Structure 1
């Protein structure tokens, strides 16, 4: 009996020792992250001043790769054209996870007036544009660089392995219809030799106040389809429309028909749908009805079955209107990202980590969000969890703040601390199997 007591006591001592070692390692990592915060600000400002469009992130990729190498990590570059990947192996056995940040900027001319505002110009799909980190990917890169640095400081006591994924072209391909971003990284075999048990990502979000994080179990963000509609008619003089077929009027009728379809044929009470045209191009002269018109836009859905139904109805509306007018219409649809769905079991496991990181009062349950994210490509391959990090300064109503993608999008840099701490806590707890 005494021997049993001695064994039990030894076990308690060993368990306490392990717990103490884990606590010390965790403290080491979080202390390193706090000490790195000035670097996160510096990295973010540098990236903000030097934004790069999708699949052109060469400078960004070099900055990331150089930093990861300085941490002693083996780095893969050129994954998905310009992506960067590195794996940290902890000193103890444990699960595998992937942490992802997107790197690309947008074809937006900055209007923030910041001292480090972008003045970069580039060409996007044949048009000269300004380039800006109007979505906050500069912050995402800085956050993940900081989290990587923090985890490396505690690697000897770290259970498992962490893949750091710096992804290009989240905002879409340079040419519509191409494989890009997360899908291209998967095609290049990013998970071939390293299959994570879970993948995590975050996004700074103007719709939340700084210091808070937002999450949702199940569907969070919509699927994004890029559609193009080429309407062909018959050219004629603008004063004699009856001699031709007007593709502009026909295109407008088709577009209005799709809006009636969504309002009257789709049950948007159970699954929201948004169909928007962002371009309508036709003709070169005020008094000539052209041969052709082109409409380009986006479709957002949360349910794959609803998506297929809406596309089929769109195609039928286009064909029927075109036939009635004596013209023709061709619809092409390219899926840029499936819906982002947080696995419910993983969400339940991760929420306490978010609460530990920022406080339970600052963890907000999000409504459905109709923007899209190709993080879903990773999360459709392995279980995934994605969350939002508030980026609007205190004293500004997030409901009226310039939203992500606005030329006036303004990130409160406290979001770097909130986001990096939340991501580090999520990663540490998962690896340590702390529910």
Structure 2
């Protein structure tokens, strides 16, 4: 274990209770409510972390969630979008409706944190044997929302309005390509049909911020995510006689380099950022055989819908023209996994003071645009929404050097759990009008 990783581990295990006492300017009722559930939140998070499940397979996690919500006396619906769980808390006074969302799925990543409750789970993902890890922090999201639900249920009699708790599967994507992500499938199955909230809120733990800080911005915040696949067809031949065939590997490589020129020379990235990345390049089975097909798979990230359409059109034209010039063919398929996450400006203005009350004004920072994506955007496209980040890197560690989300060494300081509960609880209470 590397020394800095050991320091992070020690901080993660020991700092949580102490951090809860260090924050200032926190409403006493909110701080006390968060502290009252802290022990359970930590236990839930560690349990879920040790037993991660991939998208649409969150069976154990969903049962844990449903069991806890039933203990609070809530009416619980399960099996939404395969494994999603929803419950509604009706306050004792009239008021608005809100939805609070947490995602439950883990990633096909083999854990390298050295935590005593590290995942040892393995499974098969798209034909490959993989480890499974909560490398993005969804274990924390579930535990935080369960803590918020517990705190709100404790004041049900005096609580105005209604709160829907949404525990969503498959934010990272379904096990099979071409299927819907969890948020869209929940909406398609009517999660907001009988209970349409006035606003929806979500959070994400974030290695790029130190524990204690919360990040938010108005307007576009997270990018739209498209999954693309490019199939180049050539003509098979012996590796020693390339002139007898059409080499799809060379053509695919030319296309890949050409797409980078699209971003660098044809798109105004000063107006709106864009990223086009290939994550897979598959072709051939033997060193001296030129195959007849090469396939590339990757992602496109954009913030502007018109720019997205323009890049896809340029990508397709570039691929087809390079292929035609070499006697090959190219077919581009694009699947929209998630739209851009855009925080409603008026709602963000209303929420920012709540975050400042929860963690202190100096600890609420303006987030830059992030080219990561989140299907929380699906909910926020139906009703006004705000999504914010909760710092998860231990104090004393440079967040710029900490293992990032999706890393096998991603290590959450458990002080972030208290910050997450306090932040979301304060946002909910303020919006509902409770004191």
Higher relative contact order (CA 8 A, sep 6+): 2
Normalising by structure 2, report the TM-score.
0.93
Please state how far the C-alpha of 1:32 moved relative to its aligned partner: 3.4
Distance 1:420 1:123 in 2: 34
Question: Given that residues 226 and 338 in structure 2 are in contact (C-alpha distance below 8 angstroms), is that contact kept between their aligned partners in structure 1?
Answer: yes
Counterpart secondary structure, 2:212 = coil
**What do residues 248-269 of structure 1 show as CA deviations (whole Å, max 9, x unaligned)?**
0010000110000110000000
Deviations 1:334-368, CA, capped at 9 Å, x for gaps: 01100000010000000000000000000000000
Q: Does 1:78 align with 2:79?
A: yes
Aligned partner of residue 32 in structure 2, secondary structure: helix
Structure 2 distance, partners of 1:31, 1:118, is: 32
Show the counterpart of 1:208. 209
2: CA distance between counterparts of 1:115 and 1:398? Answer: 23
Q: Does 1:418 align with 2:419?
A: yes
Is contact 1:217–1:341 with CA below 8 Å preserved after alignment?
yes
Q: Corresponding residue for 1:282?
A: 283
CA offset at residue 173 of structure 1?
1.3
Tell me the number of residue pairs that the alignment of Structure 1 and Structure 2 aligns.
409
CA contact (8 A) 1:29 1:153 kept: no
- Are 1:333 and 2:323 matched, yes or no? no
- CA–CA separation in structure 1 for the residues paired with 2:415 and 2:434: 29
SS in 1 for 2:285: coil
Q: Once the 2 structures are TM-superposed, how far is the Cα of residue 99 of structure 1 from its aligned partner?
A: 0.1
CA RMSD of aligned residues (A): 1.0
- What is the match of residue 4 of structure 1? none
**Contact 1:29–1:154 (8 Å) recurs in 2:** no
1:38 aligns with 2:46: no
CA distance in structure 1 between the partners assigned to 2:275 and 2:33 by the alignment = 44
Residue in 2 that maps onto 1:227:
228
8 Å CA contact 1:278–1:298 kept in 2: the answer is: yes
SS of 2:209's partner is strand
- Structure 1 regions of 5+ residues with no counterpart? 1-25
Instruction: Tell me which residue corresponds to 1:399.
Output: 400
Q: Verify the 8 A CA contact 1:282 1:292 in the aligned structure 2.
A: yes
The CA deviation at 1:176 is 1.5
Q: In the TM superposition, what is the alpha-carbon distance from 1:34 to its structure 2 partner?
A: 1.2
Report the equivalent of 2:383: 382
Residue 417 of structure 2 aligns to a residue whose secondary structure is helix
Distance 1:379 1:30 in 2: 28
Spell out, residue by residue over 1:367-423, the C-alpha distance to the aligned partner (whole angstroms, 9 max, x if none).
000000000000000000000000000110000100000000000000000011000
SS in 1 for 2:153: helix
1:38-117 correspondence to structure 2 within 5 Å: 38-117=39-118
Contact 1:144 1:420 in 2 (8 A): yes
Question: SS of the residue aligned with 2:429?
Answer: helix
Which has the greater radius of gyration? 1
